[in-house]
Amino acid sequence: MEIVAFGVQADERPFLERAFAGRHQVRSLDVVLNRDTAPIAHGYEVISSDVNADLGADVLQTLAAGGTKMVAQRSTGFNNIDLEAAADLGMSIGRVSHYSPYAVAEFAWALALAVDRKIVRAARRTRNFDFRLNGLMGRDLRGRTAGVLGTGRIGEAFTRIAHGFGMELLGWDLVENPHCTALGMTYVPRERLFAEADLISLHLPLTEETRHLVDAAALALTKDDAILVNTSRGGLVDTRALVRTLKAGRLTGVALDVYEEESGLFYHDRSLDVIDDDTLARLMTFANVLVTSHQAYFTEDAVGQITEATVTNVEDYLAHRTNENMLVTRGQLPAAAR
């Protein structure tokens, strides 16, 4: 069988082709799946999508009309997929329920340290042979407080690193992680976490309940010199409220690997284009803001695990099996999703 994969990064392509080798052919495309590109999938029973794909009802209808019966998404998040529409169309939808949590946790820490110690600014200066230290003073993190919102696999990995730095640990989640409490984490209401944390890191899925969790009210509670890191989902942060907070001279630094309107921007070269997203453009003007292009997951280990899980999802679909990654199986939503 030939499978078409959308949104494949150049460095990801050999992993994907190696994983499918000897089993199926894969046609790797760098274009993101959306209503304009969906007709490319005509005639393909199985396709694979990336995290920025648009899999709303209209796109799914186009895919189904072209003969697509299974979508294997190469990400954990699936807020971009209309699962009910997929079920109505009799489709199967798979995702990757987990991969190396260390990839994201370690990158979150790379961002936190880069912001705290002004590493990007320093590197730009020294490249121009400017070796002054003015404006580059950071802070020790030992003894300060890390606030972790979401303490699943990735949040736990982030917490272990924070513990290694000798930080006080505050957590917020629906369910307490005993591994985190064993490290000394205290679970508190999120209002207290925002108010007391020196470093706030987000590791939550995007749901209706978590959308804009970091809003104007939450930001008003934070310390003026707090650092905010988001490597999870862009929609967790109300970016307009964040811009207003930064304009007021608050927050030592912000590091974002995700952005709520990233689709159509991230993973593309837009350097010669006029960017009409005024919020993102304003965000980029702050010297204490670091934005990366949704790359926290992008390690050899994690991408290898993601591609292997994607192959498993396809193989199980073809064999009429199900697994923990299947969100919709031949038009049937799991009971928890109904």
Q: Of 95, 144, 153, 294, which is the active-site residue?
A: 294
220 contact partners, CB below 8 Å, separation of at least 6? 245
Please confirm, yes or no, whether 127 is among the known catalytic residues.
no
Please confirm, yes or no, whether 262 is among the known catalytic residues.
yes
Of 193, 188, 255, nearest in space to 222 by CA: 193
Give the residue carrying structure tokens 């950071």.
138
C-alpha 91/C-alpha 124 separation (Å) is 50
- Percent helix, strand and coil across the chain, each rounded to 5? 35, 15, 50
C-alpha 154/C-alpha 141 separation (Å) is 20
Q: Of 211, 233, 240, 308, which is the active-site residue?
A: 233
Q: Of 13, 262, 282, 321, which is the active-site residue?
A: 262
Please confirm, yes or no, whether 338 is among the known catalytic residues.
no
C-alpha 231/C-alpha 118 separation (Å) is 19
C-alpha 9/C-alpha 19 separation (Å) is 15
Pair 145, 199: CB distance under 8 Å: yes
Longest dimension (CA), the chain: 64
CB atoms inside a 10 Å sphere around CB 152: 16
Pair 280, 265: CB distance under 8 Å: yes
Of 282, 228, 230, nearest in space to 115 by CA: 228
End-to-end CA distance of the chain: 32
Q: Where in the sequence numbering do the catalytic residues fall?
A: 233, 262, 294
